[in-house]
């Protein structure tokens, strides 16, 4: 079983998240892509975040068209801040013979060494880094392989680091929140079901 894992606050989930997940899934031929919304992200400065319930619901709506995409409630159910290393340890225990790929952007990988027990994460899962405009890839953090679109991928026996410069997330959740706050139309950045949910519950306005 090969599982790609995307964690984050998803405040809100947007088309960039989905595009990155699709590209990673295609490149690595994953059996499943698991989105893990955080109850509260420990590595981000707080803002007026909406409830974990709303964020989880939007992720579930966004993933419904994708057969192999799943949403996990493991961090939301904890009702407290959870660290990524703890989540990966649990997923590793649940999938002792599986191949785990943890996906994050160059913006988050830039500060990866500030994460709790970040070195352990290199042993728990393959680290897959996708490009975020404005954030260069950290080449000094760990040995890595740069993939080009269409490159054949064979995962090594031990977890490795892969950088996919051709996978981009040109929009951010911050852009969407700010657009909604201004009263602008941000529907082009999120799935229709998510945009409908935002309007129904008057989120970010």
pLDDT at 199: 96
117 phi-psi bin (left φ>0, alpha ψ -120 to 50, beta other): left
pLDDT at 44: 56
Residue ranges of the chain with pLDDT lower than 50?
Answer: none
User: What is the helix, strand, coil percentage profile of the chain, to 5?
Assistant: 40, 20, 40
This model's pTM is above 0.85: yes
Considering only CA atoms, which of 200, 121, 189, 117 is closest in space to residue 161? 121
pLDDT at 167: 79
Spatial distance between the Cα atoms of 200 and 205, rounded to a whole number of angstroms: 11
pLDDT at 26: 94
DSSP calls for 25-87: HHHHT-SEEEEEE-SS-TTS---SPPPHHHHHHHHHHHHTT-TTEEE--HHHHHTS---HHHH
Indicate the helix (H) or strand (E) that contains 5: strand 2-8
CATH number of the structural domain 2-200: 3.40.50.620
């Amino acid at each position: 079983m090969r599982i790609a894992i995307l964690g984050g606050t998803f405040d809100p989930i947007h088309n960039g998240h989905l595009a990155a997940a699709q590209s990673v899934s295609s490149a690595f031929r994953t059996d499943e892509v698991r989105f893990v919304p955080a109850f509260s992200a420990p590595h981000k400065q707080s803002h007026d975040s909406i409830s974990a319930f709303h964020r989880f619901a939007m992720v579930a709506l966004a993933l419904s068209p994708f057969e192999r995409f799943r949403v996990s409630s493991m961090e939301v159910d904890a009702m407290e801040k959870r660290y990524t290393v703890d989540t990966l340890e649990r997923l590793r225990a649940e999938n002792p013979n599986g191949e785990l790929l943890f996906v994050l952007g160059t913006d988050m990988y830039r500060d990866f060494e500030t994460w709790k027990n970040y070195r352990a994460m290199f042993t728990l899962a393959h680290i897959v880094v996708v490009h975020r405009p404005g954030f260069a890839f950290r080449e000094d953090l760990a040995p890595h392989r740069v993939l080009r679109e269409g490159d054949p991928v064979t995962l090594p026996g031990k977890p490795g680091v892969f950088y996919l410069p051709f996978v981009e997330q040109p929009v951010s959740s911050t852009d969407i929140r700010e657009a909604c706050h201004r009263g602008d139309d941000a529907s082009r950045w999120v799935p229709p079901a998510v945009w409908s949910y935002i309007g129904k519950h008057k989120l970010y306005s």
